[in-house]
Structure 1
Amino acid sequence: MSATPPLARIVESGVSPWLDDLSRARLRSGNLAELISSGRILGVTTNPTIFDKAIADGEAYDEAVAALAAAGADTEQAVRTMTTDDVREAADLFARALPDPRHGDGRVSIEVDPRLAHDTAGTIAQARELWRIVDRPNVYIKIPATPEGLLAITEAVAEGISVNATLIFSVDTYRAVATAYVDGLERARDAGVDLAPIASVASVFLSRIDGKVDPVLDELGTPEATALRGTAAVAGARTAYAAFREIFSSPRWEDLAAAGAHVQRPLWASTGVKDPTFADTRYVDELVAPDVVNTMPEKTLLATADHARLPEGTGPVDTITPHLAQAAEQLDGLLRVGVPYEQLLAELTSEGVASFIVSWENLLQTVTTSLENARTA
């Protein structure tokens, strides 16, 4: 009997592999359609950085830019049109290739303007706008898990909008996101909204955590600190998964499930390995369990399909729940050796918002230049 390919075994274990990338070139070349039809991906995530790179590189958007320039579109209108057109087209590909996906799969995420990260009303308004413009049931609206974003998540879900809660770094924030989702579902149920179509994921970022914590461990330099190097991200994600199982098995949740609600799955994000001393599939291998999503850059997806390191044997695997006690000990160890863990995670949230704002502003500048060039051509 031949061994099950690594990616297929991960899917069999309950993980949904998604692609963390989208571009018009990928759509036009048929690459995305092939990834979907072959079963290698079950969803797509996007962010301002991805769209900036996609529009800045190559000629795939030239025709669209020329048409928008001729129509007198301003920069904001052009960005909204091009990004939502790509997301809608990708969503349609999934709808055709995966007519009956696992709940919450076959979807494409699009993010609200990151400049609204601390503006609840503005985030809600744009979530509604994106949901209306894309006009596909298999889209997620990405909302950052800031305090203001949490309120927006609840409101969006209450209105029947499917949400990808993003930029989660701490277990406390994960719990707050899950609570915001449950609050929204209860409001939706009480208002007579059908819960069955609503889906949500909670995006827990990984490699950025190790990139923030490990330099502190290196500076401490003690044997205990050195032994903890490279453990923070996976330990935090495993602990978040334990919180997921707790929250979505509670009596409060059971009432919602009876009304047709679906769990909000943890999504592992920022899974491209940045430290060359780590295995290139570590943020996949060490976080396999039922009811999770792993969104990967293409390099990580290909590496996973080729040589993911899974336990020997055949059939489903779980590399999270057997290690929950170890994860708790590792997080305690970080505090014990003097790592200001919670402070570092709070900094990562602020830095993440700031980074996405920079990417958004770069995207606006890229499109502004493209429109100007098209009008003078």
Structure 2
Amino acid sequence: MKALTVNKRFEEQSAFVGLLTKPLVTTTNDGKLHRLVIRHQRQLTEWFRRLGYRLIIAGQIIRLHRTPHAGTIAAPYTSQPPRRRELVLTLLAAAACEERDSATTLQAISDQVRVITSLKTSPVTAYDPEQGPERSMLLLAVRRLESQGVLVRRTRDEEMLRAWEAARTGIGAGYDIDRAALLQFLDPHTVALALSAPTGGEQDLLAATRWSRMLRVLIETPALLYADLNEDDASYAASMAGRLAEAARTMTGGTVEVRGEGLVLILHPDHPWTADATLDWPKAAAASWVALRMCDAAGTIGQRSADGCVSLRSHQVDALASRLHRQHHADLTDHFKQRPERIRPAAEETLRDAGLLHVDDTGNWTLTAAAGRYRDPEPGSDWNTATSLMEDSE
């Protein structure tokens, strides 16, 4: 019985992490995750309720709605989010699928999107399939719907897709439409909460949702750091650190480090979807090494605060980049050797994506307390010969 209980909890935690990485699940886009969620839906519904999320199971469709609090959600920073045009075309492609019964083609979706956006009442820029970049963007949008299970491709010939993208020849690909998944793709209630303007009761709402908001940050982002919170939230999180850590451990099966500057969740490595929920960094790539070098050097010269953050003025950051180029010139790849001005932007983008850096409008740096986990990186002997470290692999 005990072994069965342990296995049941492992499956529940795996499904919980899986749904965080894939919030719309069908039998087609992830059959394994679908089976686990159906098997443990009662426990998963309760766990997501603690986060203020809604888990909807409608027939064979599973949808996790991340309900915003006061128009905000917890999400890791990314320097390269999906382009606005791609997201707009994704919604338009979904609308185009509404006009079909059970099957469609890439060309049919393209034609319908052109019709929708050519209307005088259309609030978006008209889609022009004669333009190659527009076709490429629509293809990205359709692939997004495919990954969500809304579209199920019936033709697997990639050459047909390439021919349509390059020259608009053929149908591109044929798809079955999962209308149940399409219905759950967007939730008007969630969208309205995300777009709603702040009201007079915003502070009361933030106070009432403080537990779920702090738990969201711990589970959804690299770390819950007190320095990133306002004074009330920071005091609350510090006083509830033990309970927050226990809740995160229970739901994810991971390990939570409770430190003076905040909490860090490390997911269980054996869960099937841990890799999808974990930032793949640092990588064996030049940009990662440059970022780690800059981070390490900044920690030695910056002004350290009581909460573990390190601050540098913009001119100090420029000086660090110049020193890195000068002192480690032989270790750098040609991308950075020939253009030293590339060092700072690469380091900033990499460290911000890793949740280790904040940059203000004037270029000043603030390294988070978590940056202290990364120390003194050294390049290997095959630094400039390993393919994985060359610029075209980044």
Higher RCO (C-alpha under 8 Å, 6+ residues apart): 1
Kindly name which structure, 1 or 2, has the bigger radius of gyration based on alpha carbons. Answer: 2
